[in-house]
Amino acid sequence: MRILVTGASSPLAVGVLCHLLLNTDLELWCGRHRKDIPITDPRLHVIDLDLESDVSGVLSDAQFDMVIHFAGVTHASDEQQYWKVNLEGTVRLAEATRRNGCRRFVYISTRCATSGSGAYGESKLAAEQELQKLEWRSLLIIRPAEIYGAGGNEGIDRMLAVARRWRIVPALFGHRNLLFAPMHVDDFSALVAKLIQEQEDGVRIENICGPEDLSGMALAFHLCKRYGAIPVPLWWPAVAVCLKALHKIGFAIVKPDQLPRLISEKTGTAASSGSTRADARRFLKS
C-alpha cells in the first residue's frame, strides 16, 4: 500500500510512522516542509510539500492508496494562517489526491473542533466538514486531546518543565470548560497507528483522550505530587484579562486564539461514550 503522510517531520507524525513501518507491506511517501524527517528506511520516500501553494503539480504523477494528513498550523499570530493551511490547504490536498484515485483519507484534527473555539479549532472543524462532502471509500477523522512528551514548549509540556525546574505549577480555575485529558505522545502514536490499520469503509470520527478527565486544579495537583511542586491558584477571568492586556501592548505570551481554545467546548472526553482512552502507565510522566 502506498501512503502519503503530510507533516511527516512533526514529533506526532514520526511516532506514528515508526509504528506503521513495523508493517512490511507499506510504502510511505512523506511530505516535508521546512524540517527534515528524522527516520531512515528504504520504504520511506520524501517529497517537498507546501500546503499554502498549489499541490496539484507536485502530486500530478503520484498515486496513493491512502493519505494521512498531519500537516497544519497550530499556533499563529495571524489567524488567517489557520484558514489558509488548515482549511484551504486540506481541501487542495484532498482534491489533488482524489483526482489520482485515492479514496482513503485520515485527518488528524482536534477535540477543540467546535464552534467558538477560536481560529485553530474552527478551521479544523471547517476542514472536517469539507472532507465529509467529498466521496471517500474510507474517511477517518481523529480528534486528540492534549498531548505531552513530544519535547514541545507549550501546554502540558511547558507545565511539566516549570514543575521540574521551579517546583511550581499554575492551577487554573474559574471556568467550567477548563478540562484536560492529557495523553503521552507514545500512547497517541500507538493509538493512531492502530486506528489507521483497523480503518474500515465509511466515515469514522474518533476522539482519543488520556486516561482521566482533569480540571485545571486537578491537573496541577497531579503534577505537584509528581515533582514535589507547589500549586499556584490562578483565577481564569483575571488571567484572561491580563493576557489580553499584555497582548495589546506588544507582549504576546500566548497566541490570540489560545484563550478561546482553552475554554471551548470539547468534542469528547475520557469518560464520554465512544472515546478511545490511552493507557495510564505513562500518565503525566516526563
pLDDT tens, position by position, 54-112 = 888 888 777 899 999 999 999 998 999 999 999 999 999 999 999 999 999 999 999 99
269 falls within a domain = no
* pTM of the predicted structure, to 2 decimals: 0.95
- What radius of gyration do the chain's Cα atoms show? 19
pLDDT of residue 60: 76
Task: With a cut of 80, say whether residue 125 has pLDDT above it.
Answer: yes
- For residues 106 and 169, membership in a common domain is answered with no
| Range in 193-202, 204-213, 277-286 the model is least confident about | 277-286
Whether residue 286 is predicted with pLDDT greater than 70 in this model: the reply is no
Based on the domain organization, do 79 and 172 belong to the same domain?
A: no
pLDDT-derived band at 134 (thresholds 50, 70, 90) equals very high
Categorize the per-residue pLDDT at 18 as very low, low, confident or very high, splitting at 50, 70 and 90.
very high
pLDDT range class, residue 202, cuts 50, 70, 90: very high
Asked if 37 and 5 count as a contact pair (C-beta separation under 8 A), the reply is no
Q: What is the rounded distance in angstroms from the CA atom of residue 229 to the CA atom of residue 218? A: 14
Going by C-alpha positions, the residue among 183, 156, 186 that lies closest to residue 262 is 156
Same domain assignment for residues 129 and 189: yes
Return the amino acid letter for 240. Answer: A
pLDDT of 36: 82
**What is the reported pLDDT for 214?**
97
Examine residue 237 and state whether it is found in any structural domain, yes or no. Answer: yes
User: Where in the sequence is the domain holding 11, given as residue range(s)?
Assistant: 2-149+183-209
Q: Are 186 and 149 in contact (CB under 8 A)?
A: yes
Q: Are residues 168 and 77 in the same domain?
A: no
Residues 6+ apart with CB under 8 A from 61: none
Q: Please report, rounded to a whole number, the percentage of residues in the chain having pLDDT higher than 70.
A: 100
How confident is the prediction for the chain on average, in pLDDT?
A: 93
pLDDT of residue 61: 77
Average pLDDT over residues 145-169: 92
CB 7, CB 72: distance < 8 Å = yes
In the block, which residue shows the cell 510511505?
28
Residues written for the chain: 286
Q: Total structural domains in the chain?
A: 2
Q: Among residues 85, 70, 17, 23, which one has the least CA distance to residue 45?
A: 17
Do residue 174 and residue 189 come from a single domain? no
The predicted pLDDT at position 195 comes to 95
Residue 181, judged by CB atoms within 10 A of its CB (0-12, 13-18, 19+), counts as: buried
Query: Alpha-carbon distance 32 to 14, whole Å?
Result: 12
Q: Are residues 35 and 95 in the same domain?
A: yes
User: 235 pairs with which residues across the strands?
Assistant: 173
> Any residues with CB less than 8 A from the CB of 222 and at least 6 apart, and which?
214, 283, 284
